[in-house]
Amino acid sequence: MRYTNESTLPENMQPLIITAAPFGPQWLPGDADIPVTWDEQVQAAVDCYNAGATMLHVHVRDPATGHGSLDIDQFNYFIGRLRQAVPKMILQVGGSISFAPKSADAQAKWLDYDTRHMLAEIDPKPDCVTIAVGTTQWDIMASMIPDDIKGTHLENNPKVQEQWKGMWVDAGPKFYLEHLKRLREHRIQPYFVPGHIHQMELIEGLIRAGAYMGPLNMAVAAYGGGTLGRNPYHLMQFLQDVPQGASVTFWSSMRGNIPIQAMALVLGQHVRVGNEDNLWGPDKTRRTAVQQIEGTVRMAREFGRKVATAEEAREQMKIGVWYDSVEETLHNIGLPPNRRDGEKGFVVYDTDGKKGLGKTAGDSHPMAYCMVAPPVAATA
């Protein structure tokens, strides 16, 4: 993204999209404000929407066990409930799910990736499904300190901590090429989650090859442990390689998420808060997902940036929009066109050669004149 002089003024920024992540799949009931019953899970979505969130990062918890669900029927049921309870909210299903086969026979017939591709078969359809492109180590414990897990089942539990340290995301070409194909067939938009800049390069390559043709909605995953860390220079460097037309949300963890979200807000990007990422306020006291959303709304108000309505969020992200060619995709996302045979140098889009308003109305004063204060300023 290219920042101009006016880019950092809040009135020139797109309205802020707040993503709520209130279902905390890594936590157990009692660790945080975790909804368990169906009514509680639906109410969590309603409360987040009423607080100002317009996108919901969806995980499903089995009310019978209190643990994360691997049952596609439960996902179908929950998405149906959400469509009734928060019809305007953008529903973004987490893509880390492998659905459990219903029988031993199905288990024998299905390939490992088939259980993940079933995300494209959820009915009613969500608006987006998150997708990783490129296999990545994802050690969420790497950036955590003891205070972060205080009062949760991870505290004084080295065995479980070790399991989270060993987490990695399997997302090679065999997976993501087929997954993108199935999502398009079912008209569900992918929500890309690159963990570092090299995965952004993979995503651009997929677009240039025509493997994905549509708007570019994405997160920047800054959890450390194999993904991008919290170094603000690295986040800014990442933004340099993100095309102008992308919709970008910053993700990070625990109290480290607070300054990362503040960065996103003032840089014209979008934010995600909730117990999936963070349990705490800056004062080290517990904050619910709703309280984190309310804090984001206050911060946006103080900065002067408008919080997006549900309609504005859908328009920005172009929910439901698809493109029919590589050229159309590149142009709308803001990437340079593919090189045609014989073209040299850095490729740009063809123009009619006429001057635009910016050129005809530009300041053409000589440098020497501009270095001297005008008489009015000198006598002020």
Give alpha helix (H) positions in 186-325: 197-208, 232-240, 257-266, 289-303, 310-317
Helices H, strands E: what count in the chain?
15, 10
pTM of the model: 0.90
Residue 112 is predicted with a pLDDT of 75
Phi, psi of 198, deg, nearest 5 = -65, -30
Q: Which of 173, 174, 234, 248 is closest to 205 using CA atoms?
A: 173
Residue 59 is predicted with a pLDDT of 96
Residue 106 is predicted with a pLDDT of 55
Residue 364 is predicted with a pLDDT of 44
Task: Report the C-alpha gap between 61 and 36 in whole angstroms.
Answer: 6
The tokens for 283 are: 């004062």
Residues 141-200 have pLDDT tens digits of 999 999 999 999 999 999 999 999 999 899 999 999 999 999 999 999 999 999 999 999
Task: Report the C-alpha gap between 345 and 261 in whole angstroms.
Answer: 38
Residue 273 is predicted with a pLDDT of 98
**Residues of the chain with confidence (pLDDT) below 70:** 100-111, 352-380
Report CA Rg, the chain.
23
Residues 112-142 have pLDDT tens digits of 788 899 999 999 999 999 999 999 999 999 9
Q: What is the mean pLDDT of the chain?
A: 91
Task: Report the C-alpha gap between 193 and 157 in whole angstroms.
Answer: 29
- Three-state DSSP at 90 gives strand
Contact 226, 137 (CB under 8 A): yes
Residue type, 306: K
